[in-house]
């Protein structure tokens, strides 16, 4: 363990949030729920695999997971780390990452996951603001000199092995297990803090309490119909809530199993499903489109264990979903969520509806509202708003380390959408992505969907670009399967035939690929910047 010397630094800003670190609040079940899941699974099927790390080619059972978590609890207790004390986890997808994430919370401390690759430029500032008691780091994930400039004790995460280990897990192997070494936390104690991307803006540390996190797990598992016999395949970063909840906490709650990959692989994805008997495979629009462009033929019949593949993190148009399901005969269960609220809606192979992200999780009390907060009727597009607890604060860690609130009670996600008559949620785009042409609002996804009806169009993204008359004009950027025979004129004519004149794009540009964020979303801001830079200004 490396001790950081902070004597030459000014004291960090106190976190202005109760309860105080080290003091658990007794207002209901918190870490006790996680402990119950761990103990129940180990008691029922101790030898059943909980997570198999594909890249590491090793697995840990439910029984081994419980034993390791209880040894970690003793280690943290002996280090004086308790409720609301922060443990930073600087690592990528691995067995050790997921085990540590769960074990820290089961003990009752606050786990802070940081995607180092995406937030490298801000890592020092993040750690100074967090003031963690302990920093667990994967080899090569962070510069060693940061240990001397940031708070907390630093310890290599190391490697878990059934007998022994390295780094943290070597220290755990020397300790006796069989018990928890801290009182359970309350619902209002902090369970986790995770950081949004920092590629174009300073990352934000979203704070979830035990109650906020745990309340999301069972409804999410119900929406995706995750059961004890399921085996989930996921490659998404476990530094973010979407994978943590769906492919970490939900399988733990249901006694299921996980096959984890470090990164997505187009050439190996279907092989992973076969080799590991996956019943549910995680995905997003980018990876689905990548699979569509792969050579070779695979169908659902070739993957007998697979129930469905998920799509989340970015909008999947109806045309993209139709194309994928027609080619592979694999159902898509779409889902939707935000960093602040966790999963908001989801669906499975039985409940899925084309174009919808599923029915909202009931406890969120989701509504579609206008700008003044008035609820809108079914079928009418408005702002997505949720929240069933008037006292809930949606919190984040500010740059100075203080925990601040950006919404209380009800929370607007920044997305636009509508509910149909059966209560299914359809997300139509981001409020900030709206194109306002001559005072009329235009949703880019509608135009994207029209373009994707053409078989030769692999991807499409519509943007609003500056216009001296209308304020903004509609322009689309397209990735074509093959440029032979695909012309701007043909695509413009296609759009004019299916869209009102004011919505039809006035220009179409071709690109080899669309810029994406690390979450797989089309980066429309980058496309607008490219257009502005490449288009001569009229004088």
| Residue 538: per-residue pLDDT | 55
In a domain, 398, yes or no: yes
Q: Which residue has the tokens 């109760």?
A: 18
Q: Are residues 466 and 496 in the same domain?
A: yes
Same domain, 131 and 168: yes
State how far the Cα of 205 lies from the Cα of 193, in Å rounded to an integer.
6
Identify the burial level of 77 via C-beta atoms within 10 angstroms of its C-beta, where 0-12 means exposed, 13-18 middle and 19 or more buried. middle
- Tell me: do 520 and 393 sit in the same domain: no
CA distance 458 to 442: 22
How many CB atoms neighbour CB 241 within 10 A?
Answer: 24
User: Do residue 317 and residue 231 come from a single domain?
Assistant: no
The order of strands in the sheet holding 471-480 is 457-467, 471-480, 507-510
Alpha helices (runs of H) in 375-443, residue ranges in sequence order: none
Domain boundary pick from 379, 409, 432: 432
CATH at residue 453:
3.30.300.30
Strand 308-311 with 332-338, pairing: parallel
pLDDT score for 483: 61
- For the record, the structure tokens of 355 come out as 């174009």
Among residues 432, 448, 479, the one where a domain terminates is 432
Output the domain CATH number for residue 401: 3.40.50.12780
DSSP 250-313: HHHHHT-EEEE-SS--TTTHHHHHHHHT-SEE---HHHHHHHHTSSS---GGG-TT--EEEE-S
Q: Is residue 259 part of a domain?
A: no
Domain presence at residue 76:
yes
Within this chain, do residues 335 and 416 fall inside the same structural domain, yes or no?
yes
User: Based on the domain organization, do 225 and 276 belong to the same domain?
Assistant: no
> Is the same domain home to 362 and 400?
yes
Domain identity same for 83 and 153: yes
Strand partners, 111: 87, 192
Domain end, chosen from 221, 251, 281, is at 251
Mean pLDDT, each 10-residue run in order, the chain (539 residues): 37 40 64 98 97 98 97 97 97 97 98 89 92 94 86 95 90 92 96 76 88 97 98 96 97 98 95 97 90 82 96 86 93 95 97 96 97 95 94 91 93 94 93 84 88 91 88 92 80 93 93 83 88 73
Are 444 and 363 part of one and the same domain?
no
For residues 294 and 398, membership in a common domain is answered with yes
Query: Does some domain include residue 463?
Result: yes
Number of domains in the chain: 3
In a domain, 256, yes or no: no
**Residue 462 sits in the same domain as residue 506:** yes
Q: Are residues 193 and 299 in the same domain?
A: no
> CA-CA distance, 392 to 511, in Å (whole number)?
45
Range of the domain at 499: 434-534
> Is residue 257 a part of any domain in this protein?
no
Q: What is the pLDDT of residue 3?
A: 38
Q: For residue 19, is the peptide bond before it cis, meaning its omega torsion is within 30 degrees of 0?
A: yes
């Amino acid at each position: 363990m490396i001790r950081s010397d902070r004597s030459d630094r000014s004291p960090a800003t106190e976190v202005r949030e109760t309860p105080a670190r080290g003091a658990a609040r007794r207002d209901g079940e918190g870490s006790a729920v996680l402990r119950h899941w761990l103990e129940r699974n180990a008691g029922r099927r101790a030898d059943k695999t909980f997570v198999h790390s594909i890249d590491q080619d090793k697995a840990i059972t439910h029984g081994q997971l419980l034993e390791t978590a209880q040894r970690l609890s003793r280690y943290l207790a002996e280090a004086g780390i308790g409720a609301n004390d922060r443990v930073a986890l600087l690592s990528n997808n691995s067995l050790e990452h997921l085990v540590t994430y769960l074990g820290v919370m089961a003990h009752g401390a606050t786990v802070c996951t940081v995607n180092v690759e995406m937030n490298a430029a801000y890592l020092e500032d993040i750690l100074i603001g967090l003031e963690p008691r302990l920093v667990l780091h994967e080899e090569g994930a962070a510069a060693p000199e940061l240990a001397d400039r940031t708070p907390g004790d630093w310890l290599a995460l190391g490697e878990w092995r059934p007998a022994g280990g390295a780094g943290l897990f070597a220290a755990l192997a020397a300790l006796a297990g069989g018990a928890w070494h801290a009182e359970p936390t309350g619902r209002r104690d902090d369970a986790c803090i995770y950081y949004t991307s920092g590629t174009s803006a300073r990352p934000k540390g979203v704070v979830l309490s035990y109650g906020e996190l745990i309340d999301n797990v069972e409804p999410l598992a119900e929406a995706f119909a995750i059961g004890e016999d399921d085996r989930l395949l996921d490659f998404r970063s476990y530094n973010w809530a979407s994978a943590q909840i769906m492919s970490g906490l939900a399988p733990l709650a249901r006694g299921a199993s996980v096959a984890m990959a470090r990164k997505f692989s187009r050439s190996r994805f279907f092989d992973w499903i076969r080799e590991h008997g996956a019943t549910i495979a995680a995905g997003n629009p980018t990876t689905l489109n990548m699979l569509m462009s792969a050579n070779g033929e695979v169908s659902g019949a070739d993957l007998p264990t697979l129930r469905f593949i998920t799509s989340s993190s970015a909008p999947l148009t109806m045309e993209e979903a139709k194309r994928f399901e027609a080619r592979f005969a694999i159902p898509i269960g779409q889902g939707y969520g935000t960093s602040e609220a966790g999963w908001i809606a989801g669906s499975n192979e039985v409940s899925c509806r084309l174009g919808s992200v599923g029915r909202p999780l009931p406890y969120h009390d989701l509504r579609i509202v206008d700008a003044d907060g008035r609820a809108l009727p079914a079928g009418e597009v408005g702002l997505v708003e949720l929240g069933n607890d008037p006292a809930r604060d949606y919190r984040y860690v500010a740059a100075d380390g203080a925990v601040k609130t950006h919404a209380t009670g009800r929370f607007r996600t920044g997305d636009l959408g509508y509910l149909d008559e059966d209560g299914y949620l359809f997300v139509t785009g981001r409020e900030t992505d709206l194109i306002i042409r001559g005072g009329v609002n235009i949703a880019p996804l509608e135009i994207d969907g029209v373009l994707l009806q053409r078989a030769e169009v692999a991807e499409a993204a519509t943007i609003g670009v500056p216009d001296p008359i209308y304020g903004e004009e509609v322009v689309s950027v397209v990735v074509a399967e093959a440029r032979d025979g695909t012309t701007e004129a043909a695509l413009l004519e296609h759009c004019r035939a299916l869209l009102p004149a004011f919505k039809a794009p006035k220009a179409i540009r071709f690109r080899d690929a669309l810029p994406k964020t690390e979450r797989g979303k089309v980066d429309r801001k980058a496309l607008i910047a490219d257009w502005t830079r490449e288009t001569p200004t009229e004088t």
